[in-house]
A and B are shown apart, each in its own frame.
Chain A
Amino acid sequence: MPRDPHNSDQLTIALLPSRRAWLWAMLPTCLLFGGVLIVRAAEESASTETAAPAAVAPAAASSDTQAKDAAGSTDSPRAAVEAKPAAAKEEVLPALAPYSVLLRVHVPTDSQIDPRFRSRVLDEIATDLRASMGQMWTTTLEMAVDGQPASVTAIETLKVEDMTARYGESTYDKVILAGVAISGSAWTIAAREWDAAGRTLGPAYVETTFDARLVSALAAGLIRKSFRAVCRIEDVQEGVVIAAARGGEFPPGDPESIPFKPGDLLIPFVRYYDREHKLQQIRDLPWTYVRVKTVERARMECETVSAFRTPLSGSRRRMEIYAIAARPVFPATRLILAPRGDASDPLPGCRVELFDRLPTADDPVEDRIELLTDRRGSIVINADPTRPLWHVLVHSGKAILGRVPIIPGLVETATLAIPDDSARLSVEGALSVVEGELIDAVSRRNVLMSLTRRAAKARKWENVDKYLEQLQSVPDYDAFRERIASIELPAAQAAKQLKDRVAESRVRKMCSDLTQAASGHLDADKIREFKIEMAELKQAAK
């Protein structure tokens, strides 16, 4: 069974709510003795070689047996420094719980690789991480044997289900796999992280070097890079999200490795438990991100950026909300727009606006980008480190069908479901035709009235009669009202049958707007008065 490496006595005490004040007071002292680095070099092959200990912490005298347990695998641990015995993990305050990290490094057994090089790599990684992550990590370092999913190629093709199945029941918060491979004179290093809280797999980071001396430094760098910090959302007060950074009270030695900084974007998710606080399910919050505003040790104040009005509430007894650092790794994200309920039939030709900040009265965001979805119903949003968050606005005629935030590069492909607007859009098209004809009618009516007046002034009564006859043929308000009604009724009925109240009300509003416009411009009284006026003029002239 895997062991829980961070259950020290001190932490156990800290978990009890009544002792929290005492813990805060004792924190500096705790920190002095807190972090434990467990280093384990795997015995890859009992028959061939034995790797030297990568790093030996003060408690390295603890037995190999514990290390073997911790590995939970067929790997043969060579050395391990064990943390204190376990207690109930869920009772630990996130701020005071350092990350329990299982780090598995794979350097293949290869004739080109000196066994001493392998152990040196392990040593140097351990040293680097100890210096940079400090007490924030309680690390178990293992050398993975060949065939284990820690090789460079395996890392790239890793599946989250496999990792969850393998480590889901373990007590590690993070499992980081790092692999080194050699091809010719090129060294390839890869690292990838699996997070236990969200049960998600981070992106694979790969680098290549031709200098063997850089291998361990690069590997340590990739391991740090792959790490995604986690925080727990404690409360939401008037739009301000209060969150506690995991291990936030154990700042890393390297300032560059500080997990959260203002401006960072986090991806929230919800963990649901049963009465026994057993995890039931983890649910993502779609189109919702958390942006860090301030960080004070473990306490963070954040804001939500979401497609929904109140996407977050504070964590409760059987529901905890966490957020994990967003790590865009792809050069771009392809956002597919699909009708709600049928993701297999994306919508090409939809008008989409992209802006990197929400418009305000002072800043209407003039530099927004206008795009159309391509034939596969998608747009490509490029990742830009200087502008990590974008807002996507999906238009359909005069209506807005979707407004979501997105972090480009986070995933390769995302799908946004939008309501079917075809009925309303066809009404908009039909009304556009009517609107054109209305303008035509109004213009003609005005010109004919003006010509009639001119003819009356010149006492050309034949022309006056001719123009009045033409005026009679111009469609009047009733004709337009009937046409608009003939468009409105079937469309509204169809929307009603589909129980699409939004579409129905939009259809009705569009039609009533145009009817009002027709009524304003084609006032029948005006024509009547005009005809009377002309008749009187004619009578007077006689």
Chain B
Amino acid sequence: MHHEDLVLQRIDALIDEGQLPTAFELLLRLERQWTAWPGAAERHNRLLMVDGQQRPKAAIRKRAGAAVGFTRRAADYPGLSDAIPELLGTLAAQALQRGDNRAARHFLVQLGDLYPGHPLFQQHSAMMAQQANELLAAAEQAARDGQPGKAADLAEQAAVFWPRTPNLLPRFRPLAQRYQRLRVGVVRLPPADAEHSPEPDPAVDRRRLLTQVPLFEVDRYRNGSAYYRTKYIESWEPYDLGRRLLITLRQTRQPWETQPLLDAPAFAAMLEERLNPASAQFDERLSGYVDSVSVRSPVEVEVRFHRVPARIEPVLAGIVPTSAGAEDAAEAAAAAAFAGGFIAAESDAQHAVFRRATPEPNGLAEYHVAEVVEHVYPSYDKAVLGLRQGEVSMLPDLPDWIVRRVQVDPKLKDEMFIQQYALPTTHVLQINPQSAPLKVRELRRALLSAVDRGRILRDVVLRDPSAAHGRLASSPFPSFSPANSSDVGEKSFDQSAAMALLLAAARVTGNELPTLRMLVAQSPVERAAAAELVRDWKRVRLEVEIVDPGAVTDDDQDWDLAYRTLQIAEPTVALWPFLAAAPTAQITDLSVFPDWLRLALVDIDRTSDWGRALDNVRGLHGKLWSEVRCLPLWEVDGFLVIRKNVQGFPERPLNCYHGIERWTMQAWYPAE
């Protein structure tokens, strides 16, 4: 007799005595040495069976899990075909009793997969299907009553309740496609007062993308140029050498479009509001170009310029005719005339719901996304799990290491589109121009020299030693933008230089270097990177404190740095507000800059030739880099992960909701 056979006998004895852990240990040792020792598999199955029977009631779910594993291992083990259905049936019943339909569905699906014809499964399945059918009937009734949203809601509940309901898809499809709901997984929801928040926050940016339909928006980015489109204007024809612009407004709108229809008087009034210095919406840049606005016909407006802008589209892009942030009734009434885009309908701690301001009418052959629901997850990993389980259909801003994981996951790769954004996201530290300590050039240079940007990019932001999806930046624009100067050299990480510069700065400030305050949004990647930056600065004895943007009010300018993530498509227009840390380009905001920089920025704005304006920005790039007027960190290629049942988004989207009004969704629900 072999020693191994003696071990098997000992295992049998231990099982009989109920000493299962010791028996398992012996068995594992045996299996590690001899994977196919005769009799070992039988002992293993017996152990699993006895273990399943002996587990306490509280661990019933674990028991179920183990049992399912056991079934896969030895489906024909004596007694298993009775024990497993009983166990799963009990669990499903318990879940149903406490209203946990999802758990019930899970156990029943397992039961159905293992024993499709089992009476217990048939019984539960019929009951579940009946309830699902009732929900579907209610959904169909709601659809007949002209409540497509409610109908889609009920149909979704039915599909989630029991996806194996006979004839479910044909009944579910028209309801889900009539009112298409896109569920998006995020790690942070926009705050309640997001509409007025000037601080950096990707969540706020997402909300703006949904709720605002600007006059012009970037449609695509090619060869360093941004190409615009407008939903409001039929044509805009410059004449008189560009000094006059005849704008013909659109008179019709496709049912899927979300912008309001504007007539010429309303359009002219809107422009004049922005030209009136007494108005809250006064746009100094626009008023610097426009001389007068006149209505030529009900759909034609003539704009006369006293200075011709290099490109009119980015100047008018700041005009948002919609005011969709209609939380309170008064605002809604005021905004009714220009309701458009998606409106923030409801929100709680877990969700934010945005609905089309103008729903699509009945009777169309094809419908588009009607509602966007942002679900918040505690982490990106949980968000990916939610995507995998079908809770959400889109993840807009995954960190790079998770994107790479998704890219190699066979299931997700099969079910998802992974689309790269047209513009990389540039991470940059914006300097508050009002900050007294950061007016000292040596301190700004020290801040940049003291941080090992390459390491933080590789280890924290990308978690990829090869940094395939990221690179260091020297400007707030994308690295392939023609606004970048090729003469700008790298700034190497040099802590001794940083120390030297700090000493020089301390001499200027009277040997007192205050603790700097850096605004960082709550996004995990930004927070982690900011923490690393702070650590690097601490090494050269420079104290920087991370501040939540929500803790700083509009009037309170008590911050020195702001960690921003940007996608600047039009550097000639965006540079001025970015450097001035202001929402619009206003001359008074430039008062803190030296004359040469101020006049250079003004010149860019005044140049009527786009090429020359770009040349000027390029000329300024080296000076800004040398003067460290901002601290460009790195840029990261972003990816949009979206389920394949969603169609109609651009191949290289500019943002996560790019052209969402045209997106369509095929009816889909998770099968399990």
Q: Which residues of A contact B (CB under 8 A)?
A: 348-351, 370, 372-376, 395-397, 422, 425-426, 428-430, 432-433, 436-437, 439-440, 442-444, 446-448, 451
A436 x B445 contact (CB < 8 A): yes
Q: How far is the CA of A375 from the CA of B586 in the complex (A)?
A: 9
Known: A372-B591, A436-B441, A451-B496. A443 touches B287 (CB 8 A): no
In the docked arrangement, what's the CA distance between A267 and B287, Å? 35
What are 13 sample pairs from A and B whose C-beta atoms fall under 8 A apart? A349-B587, A375-B285, A375-B287, A425-B595, A426-B596, A428-B594, A429-B600, A430-B623, A433-B626, A437-B626, A440-B501, A442-B504, A451-B496
Per-position binary interface string of chain B over residues 497-510, scored 1 when its CB falls under 8 Å from any chain A CB and 0 otherwise: 10111011000000
12 further interface pairs, Cβ-Cβ under 8 Å (given A349-B587, A372-B598, A443-B501):
A351-B598, A375-B285, A375-B287, A396-B595, A428-B596, A433-B622, A433-B627, A436-B626, A439-B445, A439-B501, A440-B500, A440-B501
Instruction: From the candidates B284, B501, B503, name the one contacting A375 in the complex (CB within 8 A).
Output: B284
The smallest C-beta distance from A201 to any residue of chain B, in angstroms, reads 28
Give B525 Cβ to nearest chain A Cβ, in Å.
31
A439-B504, A443-B503, A443-B504 known; A397 vs B594 contact (CB < 8 Å): yes
Let me know if B442 is at the binding interface, CB within 8 A.
Answer: yes
Q: Is B588 an interface residue (CB 8 A)?
A: yes
| Contact yes or no, B623 A433, CB < 8 A | yes
* Known A374-B587, A376-B288, A432-B596; contact A348-B606, beta-carbon cutoff 8 A: yes
How many cross-chain pairs have Cβ atoms below 8 Å apart between A and B?
Answer: 90
When distances are taken between beta carbons in the complex, the residues of chain B under 8 Å from A439 are 441-442, 445, 501, 504
Q: Is the CB of A372 within 8 A of B590?
A: yes
B587 in contact with A397 (CB, 8 Å):
no
Does B385 have its Cβ within 8 Å of any Cβ on chain A? no
A436 to chain B minimum Cβ distance, whole angstroms, is 5
| A443 touching B442, Cβ below 8 Å | yes
Those 8 A-B pairs whose CB atoms lie nearest each other, nearest first: A443-B500, A429-B596, A375-B288, A447-B500, A349-B602, A433-B626, A397-B595, A444-B497
Q: A430: which B residues are within 8 A, CB to CB?
A: 623
Tell me what chain B mostly uses at the interface: helix, strand, loop, or mixed.
helix
B430-469 contact mask (Cβ, 8 Å, vs A): 1 or 0? 0000000000011001000000000000000000000000
The one of A350, A375, A447 in contact with B496, judged by C-beta atoms closer than 8 angstroms, is A447
> What's the nearest-Cβ distance from chain A to residue B372, in Å?
39
Whether A446 pairs with B500 at a CB distance below 8 angstroms is: yes
- Which residues in B have some Cβ–Cβ distance to A below 8 Å? 284-285, 287-288, 441-442, 445, 494, 496-497, 499-501, 503-504, 587-588, 590-591, 594-602, 606, 622-623, 626-627
The answer for the CA separation of A396 and B600 in the assembled complex, in Å, is: 12
Contact of B595 among A348, A351, A376, A437 (CB under 8 A): A351
Nearest CB of chain B from residue A392's CB, rounded to whole Å: 16
A448 contacts across to B, CB distance below 8 A: 496
- In the complex, how many angstroms separate the beta carbon of B431 from the nearest chain A beta carbon? 15
CB distance from B340 to the nearest CB of A (A): 30
Smallest Cβ-Cβ distance to B442: which chain A residue? A439
Residue in contact with B623 in the complex, picked from A373, A375, A429, A451, CB distance below 8 Å: A429
User: What's the minimum C-beta distance from A474 to chain B, rounded to whole angstroms?
Assistant: 9
In angstroms, how far is the closest chain A Cβ from the Cβ of B253? 35
**Closest CB-CB distance, A434 to chain B, in whole Å?**
9
Which residues from chain B contact A433 at a C-beta distance below 8 Å?
622-623, 626-627
Cα distance A87–B627 in the bound complex, in angstroms: 75
A513 to chain B minimum Cβ distance, whole angstroms, is 16
Q: Residue on A with the closest CB to B494?
A: A444
Chain B min CB distance to A235 (Å): 43
Please state if B595 and A432 are interface contacts (CB–CB under 8 Å).
no
**Chain B residues whose CB sits within 8 angstroms of the CB of A422 once the complex forms:** 599
Residues of chain A contacted by B596 (CB below 8 angstroms): 397, 425-426, 428-429, 432
Give the nearest-CB partner of A399 in chain B.
B595
Q: Is the CB of B595 within 8 A of A444?
A: no
Q: Complex: how many Å from CA A442 to CA B501? A: 9
**Given A375-B287, A433-B627, residue A447 in contact with residue B587 (CB < 8 A):** no
Residue of A nearest to B497 (CB): A444
Q: CA of A373 to CA of B590 in the docked complex: distance in angstroms?
A: 11
A-chain residues with CB within 8 Å of residue B441 when the two chains form the complex: 436, 439
Cα distance, A21 to B494, chains bound together (Å): 90
